[in-house]
Amino acid sequence: MSWGAHSVFSALGADAYQFNSRGGIVYGRTFSAAKVGKNIRTYLMDGKKSNGFFPATDTGCKDNFLAGKVPFAVIGNWEWADYVAKGFTMNLMPVPGVADGTYGHMFGSVSGALLTTFAAKHGTEAGAKSLLTNFFASTDGQVRYQALEKRPPAEKGAQSDSTVSAAQRGFGSAASLAGIPQIGAFLNSNKGGANYWDSAPAFWTAVLIDGKDPVKEASKLAAIWRVNVEAGKADL
């Protein structure tokens, strides 16, 4: 479990990267392994091994929920239709934090369009810029685009449009409360020994499946993520 598990990591005190009060990245700092290990023992473990709720893929959470084995599911926009098809009416919210009124940080749930040098090299830069600013960034453009992609519209006028689904509104609300940028330069780096996408599920397997000490495993994970963030700075 990697993408969806960051909300849970964060709720327990383990963010993949740290922010200062102004929203900037703090380098050379990571989470407290002792705090996270204590929270895992308190809130996730009962002396028994996991039933696979956090396996090495992002499907176990969904499968457990649809099978009625767990009361909650950590989901993404692309999965909404599957739950509706099973007859569920979902109540969407960020993963609640350990402290009252706090939430685990989730990777931002928006879509983006980039203008590349391809347009300039082929004489279509003006048209491409117009498409981005006058269509994709407009209320009409966002409504039409997100009717297909199903993510929360990034433009304020589109967010209140009557055609926006309850799912899109719910995901948008959750993202506004707890969303952080998904920074590939940090998450994809393996300078610490493994990238985020591999180290995250490996941690849950070690702690919840193999029964290893959560503090010791959290300490290893903290070191990996700290080095990856420092190394990724050069790629921003």
Q: For residue 14, give both structure tokens.
A: 């383990």
Residues of the chain with CATH 3.40.190: 6-108+166-235
The band of 36, judged by pLDDT with boundaries at 50, 70 and 90, is very high
pLDDT at residue 203 in the model: 93
- Average pLDDT score over residue span 130-150: 91
| pLDDT one-digit tens code per residue, 101-119 | 999 999 876 666 778 899 9
How high does pLDDT run on average in the chain?
A: 87
pTM of this prediction exceeds 0.85: no
d(CA 48, CA 236): 42
List CB contacts of 107: < 8 A, sequence separation 6 or more: 3, 6, 179, 180, 181, 182
Output the CA–CA distances (angstroms, integers) from residue 76 to 27, 46, 140, 203, in the order listed.
29, 28, 24, 21
List CB contacts of 206: < 8 A, sequence separation 6 or more: 212, 217
Between 215 and 172, name the one with better pLDDT: 215
Contact 193, 224 (CB under 8 A): yes
pLDDT at residue 79 in the model: 80
Say if residue 167's pLDDT is above 60.
Answer: yes
Fold of 6-108+166-235: D-Maltodextrin-Binding Protein; domain 2 (3.40.190)
- Average pLDDT score over residue span 140-148: 92
Contact 227, 192 (CB under 8 A): yes
| pLDDT one-digit tens code per residue, 191-211 | 999 999 999 989 988 988 888
Lowest mean pLDDT among 52-61, 66-75, 164-173: 52-61
Contact 78, 109 (CB under 8 A): no
The gap between the terminal CA atoms of the chain, to the nearest Å, is 26
- Average pLDDT score over residue span 24-47: 91
- Average pLDDT score over residue span 52-70: 70
pLDDT at residue 53 in the model: 58
Lowest mean pLDDT among 67-71, 97-101, 179-183, 200-204: 67-71
d(CA 186, CA 82): 31
C-alpha radius of gyration, the chain, whole number: 20
DSSP sequence for 55-66: -SSTTHHHHHHH
d(CA 220, CA 192): 10
Q: For residue 25, give both structure tokens.
A: 């990245």
Contact 44, 235 (CB under 8 A): no
Contact 160, 80 (CB under 8 A): no
